[in-house]
Structure 1
Amino acid sequence: MTKNIETTSVQQAIESRRSIRKYAQQPIDREDLQHIFELVRLSPSAWNLQPWRFHVVINEDLKQKLEDAAYGQKQVTSAPAVIVVTSDMEDVLANLTETVHPGLPEERKEEEVATLSAFFNGMSVEDRGQWGLTQTNIAFGFLMIAVQGMGYASNPMLGFDQDKVRELLGLPAHVKFAGILPIGKPNSEGHPHHRFDLNKIVAFH
C-alpha cells in the first residue's frame, strides 16, 4: 500500500529552502525518493531530450569516498543520501526514438529523429555535452524544490574533483556534471536569505 505523501506549496518550498550542511542521522524513505524523482522527471527540456541522469549514493563507504573527492566537505557524509546530477547527451543520441512523442505518426517520428540526429552530429561531443548540461540544470532546480517540498533539505555543490567522482561512479568521459546534492532532514537552520533587490536583477522592456 502506497503511503499518503504530503508536500508543501511551491511558494513555501522556495521561501523555506536554505543550504544545509548538517543533517539528522536518519535514512530517507525510499518511497519519498521515488516521489521526488517522479516530480523531477517532469522537468522541461528542448525537444524533450531529457539528458539528465541521477545517481543516488546511499552506501556509506561510497559516500566517504565522495566526500574525499569533494575536498572533505562534511555535508556529503552527514546527509543520508547524495544525488550526483549528470548529463549524458551521447546516451540521448543513441536512443533518440525514446524521446519522440508516441502520439506522432510514424513518418513524423522518423523525420524528427533524422532532424535531431543531423543537428547534434554536426556538433562536437564537447559542444553537445555543454548543450545538454544547460537542460540538466533546469532539472537540478526542479530537484531542489521537489526535495524541499517533501520536507527534506539540500545543499547544491560544485566543489568537487570531477575526475574522481567520474571514476567512483564508473561514468564515461563524455558525461557532464551539473552538481552534487546532499539531501536529508536538516539538523541545522542554515543562513537567512541574502539576495539582490529586484531592481538589480529584473528589467522590464
Structure 2
Amino acid sequence: MTHKSTTEQTISVQQAIESRHSIRQFIQQPIHQQDIENIFKLVRLSPSAWNLQPWRFHVVTDVDLKKKLEEAAYGQKQVTSAPAVIVVTSDMEDVLANIADTVHPGLSGERKEEEVANLSAFFNGMSVEERGQWGLTQTNIAFGILMTAVQGYGYASNPMLGFDQEKVRELLNLPKHVLFAGILPIGKPNGEGYPHHRFDIEKIVKFH
C-alpha cells in the first residue's frame, strides 16, 4: 500500500448497505493508503460496552503472506485475489492490561480509579476464555461497521470464517488468547457478485 492519494468520494450509508455483495474476485489494483486510514478512522468509532474497544485489525498486503493465508483458508482464492486482507481479532487480555486507557479522560481522577477498579474486578472474575468470548461479541460490532465503511469508500469485501485459526495465529504471531472474528479480503470488485436473497422483514422482525 504505497499509494498516498485517495478516491475522496464516499457513498451514503444506505447506498453502502444496499450495494454490498460478497465479492470473490478483485481487480489487481492497490488500495490507496489514505482510504485505508479513512476507513479505520470510521471503524474506531464503533461502540463497545464500557468503551473497551477489544478489536484489533491486521492489514495484510504482502504477497507471500497472503499466499500463506490462502492456504490457511483452505485455498479460497479471494484471499490472494484481494489487494488487502484484514484479519479481525479480539484481544481482551491487552484490554485488561491497559484498562485505564479505556476510561474517558473527562472523568475526575477519583472516578477514573473507581472505574478501573470495578472493570478489573469484573473481568478478573472471568476465565480467559469467558472474557475472550465477551470481547468477541463486541468485536463483531466493529466487523459490521468495517464492511460498511469499506463499501462506502468504493471497495468490496467478503467476510470469511472458513480458515484454520491456528495456522493464521502462527502466521501473524498472535498469542493464544486472541480470538478471531473473521477475515475480510477487500479491493475493487471484478464483477458484481450474486443478487441479494434475504428473508422478508416479517420473518426477522417482531413488533411487541
Short-chain TM bin: over 0.9
Distance 1:5 1:145 in 2: 16
Equivalent position SS for 2:136: helix
Stretches of 4+ aligned residues off by more than 3 angstroms = 1-4
Report the alpha carbon displacement of residue 6 of structure 1 after superposing the two structures with TM. 1.5
Unaligned runs of 5+ in 2: none
Report the alpha carbon displacement of residue 3 of structure 1 after superposing the two structures with TM. 5.5
Matching of residues 20-59 of structure 1 within 5 Å: 20-59=23-62
Is 1:121 paired with 2:139? Answer: no
Distance 2:5 2:119 in 1: 39
Report the alpha carbon displacement of residue 188 of structure 1 after superposing the two structures with TM. 1.3
CA deviations 1:44-83 (Å, max 9, x no partner) are 0000000000000000000000000000000000000000
- What amino acid maps onto 1:5 in structure 2? E
Equivalent position SS for 2:58: strand
Distance 2:72 2:7 in 1: 37
CA distance 1:157–1:4, shift in 2 (3 Å): closer
Distance 1:2 1:44 in 2: 29
Matching of residues 141-160 of structure 1 within 5 Å: 141-160=144-163
- What amino acid maps onto 2:47 in structure 1? P
CA distance 1:44–1:124, shift in 2 (3 Å): same
Picking from 7, 11, 24, the partner of 1:8 is: 11
TM-score of the two chains, using structure 2 as the length reference? 0.97
Picking from 162, 166, 171, the partner of 1:168 is: 171
Report the alpha carbon displacement of residue 2 of structure 1 after superposing the two structures with TM. 7.5
Report the alpha carbon displacement of residue 5 of structure 1 after superposing the two structures with TM. 1.8
Picking from 86, 91, 110, the partner of 1:107 is: 110
Distance 1:167 1:4 in 2: 34
Picking from 111, 134, 137, the partner of 1:131 is: 134
Picking from 93, 97, 100, the partner of 1:94 is: 97
- What amino acid maps onto 2:65 in structure 1? L
Report the number of matched residues.
Answer: 205
Distance 1:115 1:8 in 2: 41
Report the RMSD for the aligned CA atoms in angstroms.
1.1
Unaligned runs of 5+ in 1: none
Distance 2:8 2:178 in 1: 33
- What amino acid maps onto 1:151 in structure 2? G
Percent of matched pairs sharing the same residue: 80
Report the alpha carbon displacement of residue 4 of structure 1 after superposing the two structures with TM. 7.2
Distance 1:100 1:111 in 2: 10
